[in-house]
Structure 1
């Protein structure tokens, strides 16, 4: 733990010295595994959903799921225009690149592009100077139209855990006028958590700083699913099983609720054997002593086959106001909360059968370290003082 936290501090020093003093947490890694992560993206100009998906090389459905945008059966979603300064969560797969957690993308340079304009197009998640260094751009090797360049964007995994709670970490660019307090209030976290996760010496941030923000999430790890693992940030959903199943994460209980998505035809194996219930359906049979509850739950998928199971339970007290779906880890809810925008679906420039905020299939091996705790930092303060002093000499 000491060596990893020391590495984090050293890398932060490098970021301070090379990126005009913009702060950014960097997570060292040693494995090739990936994790579900998020990028907070403020649109620099009016953009189509398909353009955003193409820029970040993700599926259109992924973006819709991450932002709780309703999916209907229309085919024009890619042409839907979102206004400048709109804020979206872009779901990405966070990889280990040269020993650091990063997202590696490629970008085709256009005639009017400059490094600063490309940086702006990615919401300042990468700087022009970073692009210059990474791609060896210079007066002798200028940026040219049609050139393919590499783009590295920040992400973190921290073993998808924050203080023992399943979480997805979102990279967030601090905007002018924001503070840790205002950011924490917006995303349901605290100043102390942000200070601890981002290893901040002081509880202050500046515009352009990039924070890792923990967002609590639902996990399928204890649901006995076959050949599938989902981590879904609270308040969002995932589309899985070849677009046949939609799983939402209930913010109040952090439990997954799965049911047919209704966005594609030809989905089979949705009905539980020995019953007339389909995935997500709940049947309540009232008795003299209470009621019997049957729930058809989703159990994963493989090779086009959807697995499901019937869960039965008895209740001693039945009420019209009772939420019987909570008796099962996955059960049919009432309709999810109405999102702020409703958009129809479209083909993605990068089709992927496993779509949704966290539908990356089975979780790969991840960095075993989790975000450091505040108490551990205080306990080891003398040890880290050396590295803090070293920072000043490096800067």
Structure 2
């Protein structure tokens, strides 16, 4: 029987249809969309925020993300000078940053990927939410592995899977300040103001970067957070071209022979021989000089302080490139302050030390003072990324039911 048509009905029907369309199907959570237009095949450095789902050896964690174990330690300012770091056992619930290369995926977003061999009992859902902490989705894994057809998401043990993961670059800058972007999965109880405070930024900036109309987020939502960083200017032919290091942390490069740090006092990249550098590393001496990488001399003259330094210029074909530079500054710089290192964690009650954002001196490039710096997430172990969404969706369902009831009464 066709529905009657009256002026009142004609006004109410569009409202009902709009409400249904906005709410979506039951169980569908509205999440921020990570769409970053991109076309270049060049990758950029990015960070993933990850909370360990179980006690893991550092080597096993690195294998989950196809990352270098030393790079993970350096990105969290954890002491990486102790020999044999891969065998360290990290506790469940530990929140870490994992450095990854972020590439263009399909011209509309950024992504990285890892290889995972399924274990007994694994499903696409458990791999996405538990193993990879909500940094991916079951459907995305399914689409990236065309042979998966089980309706319940079951995966045979021993199946090799390509696991795509969200990441972001946004030009390596935020409000004109060099930045490395951290992909963060919202945990149960998180709010935008709390996340902003944890990472020394503002709720307005978090909302702007993620194109959020409101500060309403739910567990499992994915946000990207810009962390102030030191950037490099290495030639394009070097293997570490585009190297960027988040403020308060390190990076290990040149086949583990060189360590580069950022801050905490400024946003200038500073590179020296790595603690575990050995005779296999190529020469780190600046040409036409007796100075080694990281060395500098200060000579006060009537015109100012003459600073001669041996800097790092990238890694190419097994060779560490060095550059000898001389500059005249009004005042002699103070000795470089390295970001503090913390000992390897043995419990989940751990937070990476990353101090407040630096305020670079105007004479050091004129960079405006950034408004944010990073600290590792401190979500408790049970605040698992990818947990079921909050009741936000159910309020939409109730609105639709109410509209349906009103409509039935009117009709």
Q: Shared topology, TM-score over 0.5?
A: yes
Task: Say if 1:173 and 1:208, in contact at 8 Å, map to a contact too.
Answer: yes
The Cα of 1:282 is off from its aligned counterpart by 2.1
Task: Kindly report which structure 2 residues correspond to 1:211-290, keeping only aligned pairs within 5 A, or say none.
Answer: 211-221=223-233, 227=238, 228-266=241-279, 267-285=281-299
In the alignment, does 2:125 pair up with 1:123? no
Task: Say if 1:226 and 1:299, in contact at 8 Å, map to a contact too.
Answer: no
Q: SS at 1:61's partner residue?
A: helix
Task: Say if 2:79 and 2:342, in contact at 8 Å, map to a contact too.
Answer: no
Say if 1:218 and 1:177 are closer, same or farther in 2 by CA, change over 3 A: same
In the alignment, does 2:48 pair up with 1:39? yes
Distance 1:47 1:18 in 2: 36
**2:315 counterpart residue number:** 301
Match of 1:58 among 63, 67, 82: 67
**2:195 counterpart residue number:** 183
Q: How many residue pairs end up in the alignment?
A: 319
Task: Say if 1:103 and 1:152, in contact at 8 Å, map to a contact too.
Answer: yes
**2:360 counterpart residue number:** none
Q: SS at 2:230's partner residue?
A: strand
The Cα of 1:29 is off from its aligned counterpart by 3.0
Q: SS at 1:70's partner residue?
A: coil
Say if 1:78 and 1:253 are closer, same or farther in 2 by CA, change over 3 A: same
The Cα of 1:315 is off from its aligned counterpart by 5.5
Distance 2:282 2:301 in 1: 33
Say if 1:154 and 1:295 are closer, same or farther in 2 by CA, change over 3 A: same
**1:83 counterpart residue number:** 91
In the alignment, does 2:213 pair up with 1:201? yes
**1:338 counterpart residue number:** 340
Task: Kindly report which structure 2 residues correspond to 1:92-111, keeping only aligned pairs within 5 A, or say none.
Answer: 92-99=100-107, 100-111=109-120
> Greater RCO between the two (CA within 8 Å, min separation 6)?
1
Q: SS at 2:47's partner residue?
A: strand
Q: RMSD over aligned Cα, in angstroms?
A: 3.1
Distance 1:122 1:140 in 2: 19
Give CA-to-partner distance per residue, 1:85-137, whole Å, 9 cap, x none.
Answer: 11011111112223332223332111232333312011122234544555443
Task: Say if 1:225 and 1:299, in contact at 8 Å, map to a contact too.
Answer: no
**2:362 counterpart residue number:** none
Greater mean alpha carbon deviation, residues 196-205 or residues 114-123? 114-123
Q: SS at 2:228's partner residue?
A: strand
Q: Give the unaligned 5+ runs of structure 2.
A: 1-20, 346-395, 401-411
Task: Say if 2:49 and 2:97, in contact at 8 Å, map to a contact too.
Answer: yes
Say if 1:292 and 1:176 are closer, same or farther in 2 by CA, change over 3 A: same
Give CA-to-partner distance per residue, 1:349-383, whole Å, 9 cap, x none.
Answer: xxxxxxxxxxxxxxxxxxxxxxxxxxxxxxxxxxx
The Cα of 1:43 is off from its aligned counterpart by 0.9
The Cα of 1:183 is off from its aligned counterpart by 0.7
Q: Give the unaligned 5+ runs of structure 1.
A: 1-12, 326-332, 344-391
**2:58 counterpart residue number:** 49
In the alignment, does 2:222 pair up with 1:210? yes
**1:69 counterpart residue number:** 78
